[in-house]
Structure 1
Amino acid sequence: MLDQPHFGRRLRKLRLERGLSQAHLVGEGLSTGYLSRLESGERRPTERAVAYLAERLGVDVSTLTRPEGSSLTEVLAAAASAPASVDNAAALARAVEDDDREDPAARWQALWLLSRSDRRDGDHEGELARLVELVELSDLLEAPELRVRSRTRYARCLRALGEMEKAEPAAVEAFDLAREESLSVADTTAALMVLISIETEMGSMEAATRHVAELERELLPSAAPVQAAEALWTAAMVSNRQGDHTAARTRLETALELLDGKDDLVLWTRLRAAATAAALQMSPPRVEAAERWLDEAGSVIELIGTPLQLQELHALQAHLSFHKGRLDEARARCGALLSQEGLRLSYRDRVRLSVLEGQLAIMDGRVDEGTAALQELGRQAAQSKNLDLAAHVWQSLATALTDVRASEAEAADAARKAPGTGP
């Protein structure tokens, strides 16, 4: 329980983290000489000393006395060699917490794996905290590939959180670094795709269009099939926002044909879900294609999907039900998701689901309530520079109000024409 030198290392780490000198830590209860020997591992602590030091440090006694775990390097090795079905995130997180930061490369790798786990689980806040340190460590290591990959992932996470003003400069920096350092097509393409997505959502269509041309001209021909499929999907999103639905449809279908489920089942599924969302946003919506793609994705997600993927699937099913005129089904799916604790959806997906809820409220006759909700969503999206999303909110509000007024006019006209209701 009180083994050295583990106790001494942990004690010194906790003291330094709090910015305390040895004299400040011991106070009047212990001598600095005794503390020095404890930290160096020369003396075994007494239980009284442990209790006193824990109180001075503001931690539980168990924080000082818990058994020493495996080193970060050992845990990383175990994680790398474990079967894909084994989740090492908890052990890796403990190792990072106990890490003495003497090996920044190992710490970078551990944080990278943990941030990937956070992203898979939809824990964008947790992912962001790790990515902030990843960016710092990559600068310390002065490794161009790590600097670009950290910033690319950081920008993508900020985008998922709806923080576009921070996301754009991070993506620009990642892409510029990739170009300056002449990095691989894979790293450069990944950075550029994130930048294009952010520009599109911020309404910077001229810049997004220019970068799509660069992507297709310089990077796409050399990209591996998996990344080429992702790049074509990114380009399709730009075409969709510009109203060129023919080009968007062609790019989407090419992307889906490039990828076989045996190549990358996760991406195969994600692209079909993304294609579903794009098809429903076209004018007019391609409902049949969306339903086909969603059925293909859903068959996999229902079997092996993560909680986040299941929520994304159910959100898309709610939107599809709405477009098919199954309003009760859309209402039930939407309400179930938005009332769920631990909603993991990205900012964009949450707003789109809330827009659907507002549209349904207006169609149910709760016009003032639905209108107020959509107006607030529109203001928030515009304020956070999600201009494409803000445009979707305002367009949805206008369409819902127009449909309600048209229905009211039809009802009034039918009432006037009914027998016995004339003047």
Structure 2
Amino acid sequence: MGIMNQPQFGQKLKAMRVASGMTQTALAGNGMSTPYLSRLESGARPPTEKAVAYLAERLDVPLDAFAESEQGSTKTAGTRTEPASLACALAAAASGQARDLELLEEHVAADEGKNPFLDWQAQWMLADFKRTTGDHEAERGYLRQATGLSDRLALPELRVRARTRLARCLRALGDNEESRLLAAEALTIARDHELTVADTAGTLLVLVSAEVESGRLADAEAHADELLAMVSDETGPLPVKALWTAATLHVRQGDPAQARSLLAQALERLDSREDLVLWVRLRLAAASLSLQLEPAETEAAAAWLDEATPAVHLIGAPQQRQELRALRAHLAFHEGRTADARALHDSLVDDQVLLSFRDRTRLAILHNRLLFHEGRSGEGSAGLRALAQQAQVSASLDLAAETWRILAECLSGQGGG
């Protein structure tokens, strides 16, 4: 069988690269220029046999992964041309179009694990799609499948990446204990197989966050120190994320000065032209941390939100738009603008809430604090108690402690922000 033609070749190449977690630079390595690889992925250059052999070796896939199907690459269903195999469906789904991703789901179900490597890539891509839409329940299902397939393939890189992503997803859903255990397992695999800094640091990012959430601050501090030392000579988003994670730890430890210093370093290291999505996320995180300090630093939070707002409206996913609105509600409350806080809160509740477990809990805490202001202290007290108990059950002990503290302040008449 011959090599598939463009643009199908480029679409499939990109899908396989993204699924493997590699950047274009990493995949190109020393044997190919990154601009040439970019032109292959875009369909602007036809693939040569030498290039295909090199890329197959780099991706650790057989040569026939890039071969044209004997039956042709598509079949017609009514007036719709649909991929005739999981491989073709995977290539088509690289477009990111919802219909192509829906077709990929159908092919994954029909494939029944006949090609575990392609199946892993499909599960990974579908999980990423569900994450961007805020559907973490569906994301979790695909990532569990990807984790099982990575064990079947016995590839340590895939085992680490699947567990790391699943751990991050579980944190968003509020299952903090399983998240922590999975991240610790991923770290062990990464160390045992001496994987790259990117893979090992990725596990530490999730592990530190889970340890902070579960109140294991000594463990979190040791892992955060290891993480910062590991990425000290790195460039790009990795050291930025490490500094951000360490700053969050120091907020929980009651060390706002060190938290501000680390966050300032993270903000200085990232230009919006390098990674606009991370640039936005970092500013939303800076605003959130500013509001979690005692007392809340409202001027700093307002500045970060004002800076992030244009970019959120320009490129932000629905979940990021909700995060921005939720932070605006918290800011209004801390500034004493309780009517504005209530209006912003209610506008969020009227939508399908896409926020993470922690952000949803904080939004519910705000609702109950507002109930105290509205003369409904009995409802507010019961609501805060229920939220604290829910956080304890999810092993989010840091969030539970915060909720109990806020309840005590409200009952003593000091919970007005």
Q: Is the 8 A contact 1:302 1:310 kept in 2?
A: yes
Structure 1 counterpart of 2:275: 264
Q: Is the 8 A contact 1:374 1:394 kept in 2?
A: yes
Displacement of 1:210 after TM fit?
0.8
Structure 2 counterpart of 1:182: 194
Q: Alignment partner for residue 317 of structure 1, among 320, 325, 328?
A: 328
- For 1:236 and 1:327, the matched residues in 2 are separated by 29
After TM superposition, the runs of 4+ consecutive aligned structure 1 residues lying more than 4 A away are: 66-69, 84-87
- TM-score, normalised with respect to structure 2: 0.78
Closer, same or farther in 2 for the Cα pair 1:233/1:68, shift >3 Å? Answer: closer
Q: Is the 8 A contact 2:83 2:92 kept in 1?
A: no
Q: Identity across aligned pairs (percent)?
A: 46
- For 2:110 and 2:82, the matched residues in 1 are separated by 9
Displacement of 1:187 after TM fit?
0.6
Displacement of 1:87 after TM fit?
7.2
Structure 2 counterpart of 1:96: 108
Q: Is the 8 A contact 2:167 2:180 kept in 1?
A: yes
- For 2:374 and 2:414, the matched residues in 1 are separated by 9
Aligned to 2:409, the other structure's residue is in SS state helix
Q: How does 1:162-173 map to 2 (within 5 A)?
A: 162-173=174-185
Closer, same or farther in 2 for the Cα pair 1:86/1:162, shift >3 Å? Answer: closer
Worse-matched range after superposition: 92-101 or 321-330: 92-101
Q: Alignment partner for residue 255 of structure 1, among 262, 266, 283?
A: 266
Structure 1 counterpart of 2:57: none
Q: Alignment partner for residue 138 of structure 2, among 104, 119, 126?
A: 126
Letter in 2 for 1:98: A
- For 1:359 and 1:302, the matched residues in 2 are separated by 29
Closer, same or farther in 2 for the Cα pair 1:152/1:371, shift >3 Å? Answer: same
Q: Alignment partner for residue 388 of structure 1, among 395, 398, 412?
A: 398
Q: How does 1:11-30 map to 2 (within 5 A)?
A: none
Displacement of 1:251 after TM fit?
0.6
Q: Is the 8 A contact 1:363 1:400 kept in 2?
A: no
- For 1:154 and 1:86, the matched residues in 2 are separated by 22
Structure 2 counterpart of 1:76: 90
Q: Is the radius of gyration larger for structure 1 or structure 2?
A: 1
- For 1:177 and 1:79, the matched residues in 2 are separated by 30
- For 1:381 and 1:299, the matched residues in 2 are separated by 33
Q: Deviations over 1:42-85 (max 9, x none)?
A: xxxxxxxxxxxxxxxxxxxxxxxx997421111222334x4x78
Count of aligned positions: 338
Q: Deviations over 1:139-193 (max 9, x none)?
A: 0111111000000011111111111121111010011111111111011011001
Letter in 1 for 2:207: L
User: Unaligned regions of 5+ residues in structure 2, if any?
Assistant: 1-79
Displacement of 1:405 after TM fit?
9.5
Aligned to 2:375, the other structure's residue is in SS state coil
Structure 2 counterpart of 1:223: 234
Letter in 1 for 2:338: L
Q: Alignment partner for residue 274 of structure 1, among 285, 289, 294?
A: 285
Structure 2 counterpart of 1:397: 407
Closer, same or farther in 2 for the Cα pair 1:97/1:118, shift >3 Å? Answer: same
Does 2:298 correspond to 1:284?
Answer: no
Displacement of 1:287 after TM fit?
1.1
- For 1:360 and 1:178, the matched residues in 2 are separated by 46
User: Unaligned regions of 5+ residues in structure 1, if any?
Assistant: 1-65, 407-423
Q: Is the 8 A contact 1:232 1:251 kept in 2?
A: yes
Q: Is the 8 A contact 1:351 1:377 kept in 2?
A: yes
Aligned to 1:254, the other structure's residue is in SS state helix
- For 1:303 and 1:248, the matched residues in 2 are separated by 29
Letter in 1 for 2:303: R
Give the CA RMSD over aligned residues.
2.0
- TM-score, normalised with respect to structure 1: 0.76
Displacement of 1:288 after TM fit?
1.2
